[in-house]
Amino acid sequence: MNVLIFNGATDTRPEATSNRLAAYLSEGLTEKGLPTEIFSLAEKEIPFFSMLEAAKKPESVAAMCEAFCKADLQIWMTPLYHGSMTGAMKNCLDWLELTSKHQRPYLTGKVVALLSWADGTQAMQGINAMDAVAKALRAWVLPYSLPILKNNLYDPQTSGFTAFYKTKLDMMVSLLSAAQSHVAAGTAI
């Protein structure tokens, strides 16, 4: 069972918060025996969603839909942009409309963990926005989300994550790992 880490940020710098978080989570999941795929939106060419474009089924969108459908466990992460997830992330999720006719439409039965970060204390708004979309797509949201106050994420002496946030990120990994046995057994849905 693999895990999809959906990086909804549009920053491609390796040292960007989004990429550092994705790498940390991927490493933790791999240590638990869960192979990960990082879907970094900044590296994909996902066009604006429209029903006209949907009829054409762009290759990049087909690959995206396949990645989301094959991963029973997912982590969605976004910086807070004006009280919500990034617009590019929402656009990407809108493309999951192409899966509406599948035997298991949208993200039915998938478990999604959510995390968002902000310079201020409003990161929970990003989580609330993702939560609404995940539920609309018929996914189960892990009952542990992580709003991050970016000013407290990094240790000023080491430039690594603080022990406080490492503990929280590790908890998310552990809970998602525990969820995998329930998903496999069909008891989480």
* Residue-range domain boundaries for the chain: 3-187
Q: What is the pTM of this model?
A: 0.94
Q: Is the Cβ–Cβ distance between 6 and 40 less than 8 Å?
A: no
pLDDT of residue 187: 60
**pLDDT score, position 105:** 94
**Parts of the chain with a pLDDT under 50:** 189
- Cβ atoms 78, 9 nearer than 8 A: yes
| CA–CA distances in Å: residue 18 to residues 15, 61, 170 | 8, 22, 16
Predicted local distance difference test score (pLDDT) of residue 186: 67
**For domain 3-187, which CATH number applies: 3.40.50.360, 3.40.50.720, 2.60.40.10, 3.40.1670.10?**
3.40.50.360
Beta bridge partners of 161: 154
Q: Average pLDDT of the chain?
A: 94
Cα→Cα distances 51→7, 112, 132, Å: 24, 26, 22
Helix axes 17-31, 163-185, angle to 10 degrees: 50
